[in-house]
Amino acid sequence: MKGLRQGGLPGEDYTEVGKDIEEGVAAAKILVDAGYDSLNVDAGTYDSWYWNHPPMYFEDGMYREFGRILKQEVDVPIILAGRMDNPELAEESIGTCCDIISYGRPLLADAEIATKIKEGRVEEIRPCLGCHEGCMGRIANATVSCAVNPACGRENIYGLTPALQKKKILVAGGGIAGMETARVCALRGHDVVLCEKSDHLGGNLIPGGVPHFKRYDLKLVDYYKRQMELQGVEVHLNTEVTADTAKSFQADIIVCASGSTPKQMTVNGELPVYTADEVLLGKQDASDQIVIIGGGLVGFETALWLAQQGKKVSVVEILPEILGGHGAMPHMNYYMLTDLLNYHKVDIYTDTKVLKTTSDGVVVETDGTQKVLPAKTVIASIGYIENNMLYEQLKDSEIPVYNIGDSSQVHNIMYAIWNAYELARGL
C-alpha cells in the first residue's frame, strides 16, 4: 500500500506505508509457532481493493514472489492464489513459490478447472476474465455468480436439461452471444448451424482483446471455438445470413446475433477521426500524440494501451464523470484502471466539448474556455450501435426469430452471455 485506499502499481517504484514484507514474514513465523499448519499468501487489503481482488490489469501470478520469500522462511505448506489461472504457470510455481494452488474466481468460471488440468484438457477451460462483473460486482445486491458462467451459484435451478424436441437452429453471428447460443443449444441436443460473415469468430472481443491486459478475452474466444468443435456445431465462416438466404437453411428457429459496430464521429477540421477498433486492429496507425474522444471503458482501455507504448494520450469526455461514474463498474477495476491512467500520465478532461481539429491538434471547450490539445491522431470511442437489420427483416417470418446480444441491446460481455444462455436453455 502506498497511501490511503491506494495500492502500488505493477512496475511502480513507491514507498510502502502499510505492512511490509519483513512484518509479513514475522507475522507468519508467529502463526506457525502458534500451531498453524499452512499459510495462504496474498498482499491484499481493503485499503487497496485491486490487490485484494486483482483485476485483469495485473500480470498472472502477481503474488508468486511473496510465496517464494515465505517458503524460505517457514516450514509449513504455502497456499497461493492471485491470477494463477494459467495452468503452466501454476505447475511451475508448485515447489518454488507454493505447495498448493488456490482457485476462487476461476472455479466460478469453470467448476471443472482442476479436472480439466489433470486430464490435459486445458483448451476446454472457460477462463475467468478478471472483470468482477458477475462476482464482486454483484455481491452487495445479488447472489455471487460469474460473467462467463450464467449458471454459477444456481446450478440446480438454472442448469441445462435435454430438449424435449430436437430442432434445427440457425445462429446468425459468431460473436460471444452467438457462440454461447450455439453451445447451449447443441448441449441440449439441437442441430445447430452458426454462420459468421467475417473470416473469424469472436466479434468485438477480437479488437477488445488486443491490449495485453485483455488477453483473457481472447482466451474466451478460444474456449468457444473449442466448444463449437466439441458440441458438433456446424460453423460457416465468410457466410452472411440475409433475408434472402435465411430460408435456404431450412431452420426451425433463427437466432440473430449480428452484434454491433462502433459509432462513427465526424469532427470539422484538418485531422481524420478513427474508431478505437481501427487503431486496435492496426487498420490505422496511431501517432505519438493522441486525443481520444469518449471516456467510457473502451476509450480508457485504449488510452491505457497506447500510453503503455510510450505515447502521449489525452481523453475528452463531455460528461462530468468518466467510466460512467463510481459504481458503474466494480470498484477494484475502477480504482486500478484510474490509477494506471494517472501513472501513465494520461490527461483526462471532463465536462469538455470537442469543437474542431487543426493541424496542431483538437480544439476543445472546458470551463467556458477554449484550448488546443496537441494531437496528430484523433480516436472516437463514443459507443456502439446495434446491428439489428437482419432481425428487423426476419422478425415477421413464419418461424420463430430471436434477437440477442449486442444486436438487441449494446451492453457488456456478461449480459451478452447471460442473455444468450437464458434464450438457449428454453429453446
Widest Cα–Cα separation across the chain:
76
Distance (Å, whole) CA 34 – CA 48: 28
How much is the pLDDT for 138?
Answer: 87
How much is the pLDDT for 172?
Answer: 98
CA distances from 405 to 103, 205, 302, 311 (A): 30, 13, 23, 34
Q: Which fold has domain 160-261+385-424?
A: Rossmann fold (3.40.50)
Is the pLDDT assigned to residue 46 strictly greater than 80?
Answer: no
Listed in sequence order, the residues at least 6 apart from 349 whose beta carbon sits closer than 8 Å to its beta carbon are: 314, 315, 316, 317, 364, 366, 373
pLDDT digits (tens, 9 = 90+) for 308-324: 999 999 999 999 999 99
**Band of the pLDDT at 246, cuts 50, 70, 90?**
very high
DSSP notation for 59-94: PTTTTHHHHHHHHTT-SS-EEE-SS---HHHHHHHB
**Homologous superfamily of 273-382 in CATH?**
FAD/NAD(P)-binding domain (3.50.50.60)
Helix (H) or strand (E) holding 239: none
| Neighbouring C-beta atoms of residue 12, cutoff 10 Å | 11
How much is the pLDDT for 140?
Answer: 75
Fold agreement between 160-261+385-424 and 273-382: no
Give percent of the chain with pLDDT exceeding 70: 100
Q: Where are the domains of the chain?
A: 160-261+385-424, 273-382
Mean pLDDT over residues 141-159, rounded? 93
DSSP 203: T
pLDDT digits (tens, 9 = 90+) for 47-70: 778 998 999 999 999 999 999 999
| 142 vs 296 pLDDT, higher one | 296
Is the pLDDT assigned to residue 141 strictly greater than 90?
Answer: no
Is the pLDDT assigned to residue 24 strictly greater than 80?
Answer: yes
| Neighbouring C-beta atoms of residue 183, cutoff 10 Å | 24
